[in-house]
Structure 1
Amino acid sequence: MPPTSVPPRLKKPKSLRLAGSLSAAAALLPLSAMAQQQAAPAASAATLPTVTVQEQAIDPNPNAEVGAPYKAKTSADSRYTRPLAEIPQTISVVTGEAIRDSGQTDLKQILAVQPGITLGTGENGNAFGDRYIIRGQEARSDVFVDGLRDPGMTTRESFAIEQIEVTKGPNSSFAGRGSAGGAINAITKQATTDYSFNRISAGIGTDSHRRVTLDANKVFSETFALRANALLSSEGVPDRDPSKRQRNGLALSGLWLPNEDLSVTLDYYGLRAKDKHPDLGYYLVGTPPNRRPARGVPMYAQDADFLRSDVDTLTARVNYRFTPDVKLTSLTRYGQSKNAYATTGASSATVLDAAGNAIGTAAAIDGGHTGWQEVEYFAHQSNLRWDKQIGGLKHEFIFGLEYTDHKVLSGNYGVSSTAAPNCRTSGRNGPQGSWCITDLNGNALDNLGSLAGRSYERRDWTRDWRVKTFALSAMDTVDLTDRWTLFGGLRADHYKLTMLTQNNQTGAQTGDYRFSDTLVNGHLGVSYKINPTAMVYASFGTAQDINGGEPDASGGGYGGLIIHNGQAAGARPETSRNFELGTKFNILDDKLLATAAVFQTTKSDVTEGADYDTVGTFNTGKNRVRGIELGLAGNVTPLLEVQGGVAFMKSRVLQSSTPGFVGLPLSNFADRSAALQAKYHLTRNFEFGAVARYESGKCGGQPDTAAGHNAQGLCSQPVPSFAVYDLFATYRINKSANLRLNVLNVADKDYFTAVYRSGAFLYKGDGRAVRLTLNLDL
């Protein structure tokens, strides 16, 4: 139904509001009768206009824009003291309403529809969780939950998410180490004393899709409330049977308000994610310029293959107002995650006869890829806001301190393949017995899941990685005049990194590495208000990555610790610098936010890996990304809601230890990406919409370096461009129930999102899926 201007948050439980309304109505009945008698003669002379009242579901998200479900008004990060329309930086927000309408559930699927973000493969052993690339820079470790880094490297689900905030550009003054391309902040659903509600969603669909979620908030008094979110979900991967996904989760939040100045929230979040027969997708065949995805690759995952993520976190939040001008926000979190995978890849292979002569090509599976990690972390962050008049100017100071202790123990599995090879192929080390999944004509063989007779046995740990960090920060936002506003931030992070390595079959220690350093980063922005609804801004920000900052990677080219002469290499931190000019327009009665920005990010002192080993070249790389990004979120008309944007970017390697890389684009980088989600309210009870997504072609390779090209300058591992469309519609049965239909990838298009640098692991997007969901508001 069309949105109306209804206050988003009520200050009393529903029962109290209703009782108060009835009492007021009863008291006014006599006065109303008298007024009607006196006004009767005038009523015959003049007719008052008709007033139509329409109900609207109240959004429990305190950051939402009233009446514009696809638009967020504020960030949930208390360090941003102004509305999003006044912040001198590109921040894209995906609201809970937009997430629900889209029908996407995993965070990876949701972010893949955002311009400027591409996905990467589980490279060099990193298949623990989702891999994001923001504006050409790795961001798999730059995922935050409610402002605290979430280092679990896990599969992430949306059932407990209120909104997702994507900050574009280097962001270390907020995020600390890393965040070279930006950061992702998932805002969770919190208990509220505003009102009680119970919302249940139950969905079914093609590919055995089953999903049930619960979102219940119970107000016990004006000072205490509990909220619970639960998830039970399973589905097959469209067009890739028997690959299956299972997600089960529980999130609990308790809020206590002992007085008007203090609030205490305790949260628990748990997720159990398991993929059976996880699919590594297709592979590339042919040679440039005719290098292309293979056609009709069968589902070849082995029966014992799996991917698992178990996550448990506890978070305490304390907000205290010392005075109207001094407020403290404090967060403390302890978390654990256990992640493991055993997967099988496939690629095109040259088949040999008994004499070693090539007789054709077929697809063959590889020897498997395995890993496990146990993550344990503690984090505390306190931010003190102080609003103070100095020299006639009002300053909004934020002083912060943060301590984190992040530990990762990791290893792998032993792989046993008991079935006899069914073909002989040429390989890196000469002829070898292999398991072909197709014949020489490309026809799939039978019983592919048991082809190799594969099993896995967990081995001991190989790396014991740990980083302790203590950080101090200071920020200030000040209005210099009625039109000019200045924002500045500075942060220092002192860290200590240690890493032990051992042979996980003999137990012999193979390395003991440790070092420490201090990173200092800043952010400066200035904005000018053209009028009360529009502004222009300029900003500059920095970020730094450390040698060995990615605990899931063993190779120097993937963010793992670079070892040289038996010691951790004395590499300087990689430094990113970002310049941005932009404008933001809050228009149509503040219901639509339009943004535009031009930017340049330069990353210097890049440590470049040498092939798959841990030896690399130190601080020899430099690259640059330039681009333009446009965004739109909110109501174009009272009946039409939109959220989306477009990014045009160019990347270039400026320096490298390999001269042939200079001038080439970055790997896994899409020059153009665009997405638009739109919903139209056709009638009071029926609305429909669509999601369109486009991504230009890209070229695979190692992160932070040039995309792979041959001697003729042609891309060696191309990922074709694609456009994908989804449809959705919602029918309102009554005020408490509606039905939503989602058709994902409506054209059932074969498209690919990422490729490994060898041309294997060409991740395939999901095929067509149809889902029907019943939503009940009890």
Structure 2
Amino acid sequence: MSYPLPGPSSRLLRARGPVLSALLLASLLSPALAQTPNTSEPAEQLPTFTVDSTRDVGYQATNTTSVGYINRPLKDLPQSIGILNQELLRDVGALDFAQAVQYSTNINFQIANADTNFTIRGLTSRSFFVNFLTRVTPTDSYMTERIEVVHGPASVIYGQQDAGGVVNTITKIAHLKQNRTTVELTGGDYDLRRGTFDTNIALGDHQALRVAGLYHSTEDGRAYAGIERRGLYADYLWQINPTTSIRITGESGYDHRTPFTGIITLPLNSSAQSAAAAVGLLPQKYAQSIYGPDAQSNLDYFFYTAAFTKALFNDRLNVQFTVSESMRNRNQRWGPAMKSASYATAAVGPSSINGYQITPGYAAGTPIFTQNWQLVGLDERFRFYRLQAAWELPELGGKHMLTFGGNYQPNDYPTYNTVSWLYRNPDGSPRGAIFGTSAADRMPYTVIMDGGLRYPQQLIGNGLYERKASGFQLGQIVKAGFAMLASDWGHDGRFKTLIGFRYDDMYNSNDTLGASGNTDNMIITTSAADHAKVWSKSIGAIYALTPTLNLTANYGTSLWPNVNRFDINLNLMPPTEGESYEFGLKALTPDNRYSASFTYFDLTQKNSALSVAAPLLIAQFGSSTPARAVAGAMESKGYELEFTANPTPAWTLRAGVGFADPKITTDLPQFGYPGGKTMPGVTKYTGTFFTRYNFTTGPVRGLFVGGGFNYRSENYAGYVDTNNDNIAEQQVTFPGYTTFDFLAGYSFRLARHSRLTLRINLRNAFDKSYIVATDVNFAGYGDRRQLMFSTSLEF
């Protein structure tokens, strides 16, 4: 597979690339690289608001900033937090976010190979953050220090967050008085070609620069699906004096892919079921995006964060002011599934190829679907200002740390989405359905050609006239204030509390755009807005039963604005709110070699925007466009058990078991959500395990081996019960699965300060074909078996 290179025409890279390129050039030319010896420990005193991952041992991470903004031990926090550090990500062969979080408990994806569509504790989560900030740019392991999964509500810190939990990615940071560079080359199945570098440069005693770069290209192991990604990341630290510092972080990148989200074959019966019910009719080797072989997505992206930190009053008060901005420009070409529909005028018989049914038979009157290909242009910009302080209060019956501040998000987050319908005549009038003009011809069936699925005819490149047809603009203003008090009570500090409050004032608007006559001009056709003022709360307690075992309890609430989500009357939906109670145990041995946590949770969520499956919209309204949602309530109960250990200096392991049983508590059968049924897109049980052993003596010294597995139970794709005699009731499920990953490698010194490491990763070793993601409208396969070879040089 070959893709056109973006070259100098990439607008965002042209604007911001020179900044990061200059930082990269400075790092490569810095004479300090050859003058200062390597050191394994950072020399600087990291500020209160920064977590130091260099002190992780094996897969063991003991501290976090993801609750309360300040650096605190994991065992002293009342919430369940799973940390996937850089060492684990490297060992399991995780190159991106989706591959990494498979090793976290109670997390599942709703769209295959997507960064931000997943469930935590059985509930949909769009809460994806980078360094506490919402980002509209993708992430990759080349610039990732660790991934932290904060289970349960945490809106006091993150503001806009779903009840199930938050995923917060921590990026790499520069360290003072260190010079270290790592270059890594990776190749493997499906024409995988990947190169990365990561260098930390000491610029004197008080400044440091860390730069990382990426080139990644692969065909992804599926027919007509692949990705090419390039990125340049930098982090600069200036320790002006012992109490004052400035840190600037940024990334510029480009992402080109053929998106994969499932296949478009339909169920065996003639009922209008979720398209997810059809996946599994074909073997995985034929899996292809529902968007078709000619779909493309091109993304230019950029972000920066600047933070000024000052310590006052003998370090009793630490203040930080942060400015962040992320933006992306995306151009896509695809045909959304089930874009329009009518009803069959005559019965159509089934057809099959090699024993697999491709077009099921259907009766007259059955809803049938068409796809109109489109071009989508999307520009997004997100700016964020935050002022926070950590104040060590006078001792009053114990030690107390107050974190407080506020943030402001201005209304400069416009999303402009223009659509060009390819199947139009030059005068702008429709040319008719893709598969014919009669209702009987409009079934979006596929045929097997050249090892993959293709449409009956080529859809792209026919020279048809393109014209802007529709779009939307989003606006959002957020003003918020927060405070969190962490207290250690008594002289021994055995009892600890964490109490926080947050107030959000949010204004969300949505303008729908339409073409102005037979022109390319766009005008606002409808407007919607929602103004919400909401308090979020978090109250937690920890009691030390023994020096190694803590008892925890926590209550928290969550808030998520339903931007661009409309109800059945096409009104903008108000925010989703949730609350959670959880209780647990956390253990950490004095030598930090063993840690474990167990948490039981009981959470509820109201005013959730539940997507209505297209066939049900057709049955209810006669049309599936625009997409609509209904407000539902739900509950989820379950537990997480995670264990990390370093039995010996050469042996590390991590394991986890999770259970979540989300139920719909409102009865909405006419929209496919009957009360008491399991939420769609959920696997109730999750289990993960991975271990690595290093040989440190004898003739095999330097050899390391590892392996592990991921288990997911039966997947509930959805329940169709429409109270409509023409549509059959059916529970759609897919079987559970277990995949195995293995690791082997050899590491040795080339010189005093250089090391060469050879590594082999085998992901999904037994080539298990499985459904990894489901939604009410589609489903997708997980990754196929992939063998990867890596060579890294550290000096």
Question: Shorter-normalised TM-score: what interval?
Answer: 0.7 to 0.9
Rounded to whole Å, the distance in 1 between the matches of 2:583 and 2:452 is 58
> Which residue number in structure 1 is paired with residue 478 of structure 2?
469
1:729 to partner: Cα distance:
1.2
Equivalent residue, structure 2, for 1:63: 52
Q: Are the structure 2 counterparts of residues 605 and 408 from structure 1 closer, same or farther at C-alpha, using a change threshold of 3 Å?
A: same
**1:284 positional shift:** 5.8
Change (3 A) 1:698 1:64: same
Q: State the Cα distance separating 1:434 from its structure 2 match.
A: 5.8
Secondary structure class of the residue paired with 1:100: helix
Indicate how the Cα distance of structure 1 residues 194 and 132 shifts in structure 2: closer, same or farther if over 3 A, else same: farther
Deviations 1:199-230 (A, max 9, x none): 10111112111111010111021111111100
Q: Which amino acid aligns with 1:478?
A: S
Aligned to 2:705: 688
Measure how far apart 1:607 and its partner are: 5.0
CA contact (8 A) 1:208 1:234 kept: yes
Verify the 8 A CA contact 2:37 2:178 in the aligned structure 1: no
Q: Is the 8 A contact 2:265 2:446 kept in 1?
A: no
Aligned CA distance change for structure 1 residues 63 and 232 (closer, same or farther; 3 Å):
same
State the partner residue of 2:791.
774
Aligned with residue 358 of structure 2, among 353, 360, 363:
363
Q: Which moved more, 1:293-302 or 1:321-330?
A: 293-302
Distance 1:225 1:604, change over 3 A: same
2:281 is the alignment partner of 1:294 = yes
Partner of 1:574 in structure 2? 576
Contact 1:155 1:309 in 2 (8 A): no
Give the stretch that moved more between structures: 160-169 or 324-333. 324-333
Deviation, 1:487, is 0.9
> Partners of 2:451 and 2:793 in 1: how far apart?
46
Which residue of 758, 770, 778 corresponds with 1:739?
A: 758
Rounded to whole Å, the distance in 1 between the matches of 2:336 and 2:566 is: 26
Q: Return the alpha-carbon distance in structure 1 between the equivalents of residues 381 and 690 of structure 2.
A: 37
Residue matched to 2:123: 137
- CA deviations 1:423-465 (Å, max 9, x no partner) are 979x9x8312567532xxx787999489323249573661110
- Tell me the amino acid that sits aligned with residue 133 of structure 1: T
Letter of the aligned partner of 2:122 in structure 1?
Answer: G
Whole-Å separation in 1 of the counterparts to 2:307 and 2:41? 27
**Residues 1:534 and 2:549 are matched in the alignment:** yes
Distance 2:172 2:629 in 1: 45
Please tell me the residue identity of whatever aligns with 2:383: F
Aligned to 2:234: 252
Structure 1 residue 595 corresponds to structure 2 residue 597: yes
Q: Deviations over 1:3-29 (max 9, x none)?
A: xxxxxxxxxx9988869xxxxxxxxxx
TM-score normalised to the size of structure 1?
0.81
Mapping 1:298-317, distance limit 5 Å = 298=286, 302=292, 304-317=294-307
Q: Is the 8 A contact 2:480 2:504 kept in 1?
A: yes
Give runs of aligned pairs for residues 33-52 of structure 1, distance below 5 A.
none
What SS does structure 1 have at the residue aligned with 2:163?
Answer: coil
Change (3 A) 1:308 1:138: farther
Deviation string 1:728-755 (CA, Å, 9 cap, x unpaired) is 1120132511101001111011111123
The 3 A distance-change label for structure 1 pair 394 and 745 is same
Aligned counterpart, 1:107: 97
Residue 212 of structure 2 is matched in structure 1 by 229
CA positional deviation for 1:369: 6.7
1:764 has 2:745 as partner: no
Check the 8 A contact 1:311/1:337 in 2, yes or no: yes
Secondary structure (helix, strand or coil) at the match of 2:678 reads coil
> How is 1:671-682 mapped onto 2 (pairs within 5 angstroms)?
671-682=684-695
Alignment of 1:512 onto 2:500: no
Gap change, CA 1:17 and 1:279, over 3 Å in 2? closer
- In structure 2, do the counterparts of structure 1 residues 762 and 517 end up closer, same or farther at CA, with 3 Å as the change threshold? closer
Following the alignment from structure 2 to structure 1, what is the Cα–Cα distance between the partners of residues 123 and 704?
38
Sort the Cα spacing of 1:356 and 1:672 in 2 relative to 1 into closer, same or farther, 3 A: closer
State which of 366, 374, 385 in structure 2 corresponds to 1:380.
385
The amino acid of 1:149's aligned partner reads T
Mark the CA change 1:165 to 1:283 in structure 2 (over 3 Å): closer, same or farther.
Answer: farther
Are the counterparts in 2 of residues 116 and 135 from structure 1 also a CA contact under 8 Å? Answer: yes
Distance 1:401 1:133, change over 3 A: same
Residue identity opposite 2:486 in structure 1: T
C-alpha distance 231-618 of structure 1, shift in aligned 2 (>3 A): closer
**Structure 1 stretch displaced more, 624-633 or 454-463:** 454-463
In the alignment, is the contact (CA less than 8 A) between 1:719 and 1:755 conserved in 2?
no
- State whether structure 2 residue 750 is matched by structure 1 residue 750: no
Deviates more, 1:354-363 or 1:714-723: 354-363
TM-score normalised to structure 2 length: 0.79
Question: Which structure 1 segments of 5+ residues have no match?
Answer: 1-12, 20-54, 552-559, 702-706
Between the aligned partners of 1:437 and 1:422, the Cα distance in structure 2 is 16
Matched, 1:158 2:141: yes
Per-residue deviation, residues 624-648 of structure 1 (Å, max 9, x unmatched): 1000110112413333211231101
Taking the aligned partners of 1:609 and 1:242, their CA distance within structure 2 comes to 28
Deviations 1:529-585 (A, max 9, x none): 122222011100001233xx234xxxxxxxx13374x7546x5x4321100001111
- The question of 1:330 aligning with 2:321 is answered yes
Aligned length: 693
User: 1:299: Cα distance to partner?
Assistant: 5.5
Counterpart contact for 2:237–2:246, Cα < 8 Å: yes
SS at the partner of 2:468?
strand
Asked if the contact 1:459–1:505 (Cα under 8 Å) also holds between the matched residues in 2, the reply is: no
Report the residue type matching 1:363 in the other structure. I
Aligned-pair distance for 1:132?
1.7
Match runs of 1:9-48 below 5 Å: none
SS in 1 for 2:682: coil
- What residue in structure 2 maps to residue 30 of structure 1? none
One-letter amino acid matched to 1:408:
P
TM-aligned CA deviation for residue 594 of structure 1: 0.6
Match of 1:270 in 2: 252
> What CA distance in whole angstroms lies between the structure 1 residues aligned with 2:525 and 2:334?
27
Taking the aligned partners of 1:741 and 1:214, their CA distance within structure 2 comes to 19
Say if 2:421 and 2:469, in contact at 8 Å, map to a contact too.
Answer: no
Aligned equivalent of 2:652: 641
Code of the residue aligned with 1:135 in structure 2: it is R
Cα 1:671/1:448, change in 2 over 3 Å: closer
Confirm or deny: 8 A CA contact 2:51 2:64 kept in the other structure: no
- Is residue 738 of structure 2 the alignment partner of residue 723 of structure 1? yes
Gapped regions of structure 2 (runs ≥ 5): 1-31, 45-49, 360-369, 425-430, 618-623
Q: Which residue identity lines up with residue 688 of structure 2 in the other structure?
A: A
In structure 2, the CA distance between the partners of 1:310 and 1:14, relative to structure 1 (3 Å rule), is closer
Q: Are 2:543 and 1:524 equivalent residues in the alignment?
A: no
User: How far does residue 130 in structure 1 lie from its aligned partner after superposition?
Assistant: 3.4
**Corresponding residue SS for 2:69:** coil
- CA gap of 1:460–1:628, structure 2 versus 1, over 3 A, is same
Mapped to 1, the partners of 2:189 and 2:254 lie a distance apart of: 23
Residue 174 of structure 1: SS of its match in structure 2? helix
Residues in 2 aligned to 1:91 and 1:738: alpha-carbon distance in whole angstroms:
31
Specify the code of the residue in structure 2 equivalent to 1:131: N
Contact 2:42 2:178 in 1 (8 A): no
Q: Deviations along 1:240-259, whole A, 9 cap, x unmatched? A: 14422111000011111111
Partner of 1:452: 458
Q: Could you tell me which amino acid in structure 2 is paired with residue 108 of structure 1?
A: A
Q: Does 1:653 align with 2:655?
A: no
Would the aligned equivalents of 1:375 and 1:409 in 2 still touch at CA under 8 Å?
yes
Secondary structure in 2 aligned to 1:602? strand
Report deviation, 1:374: 1.2
2: distance between equivalents of 1:568 and 1:62?
39
User: Offset at 1:57?
Assistant: 9.3
With over 3 angstroms needed to count, the CA separation of the structure-2 counterparts of 1:614 and 1:453, relative to structure 1, is closer
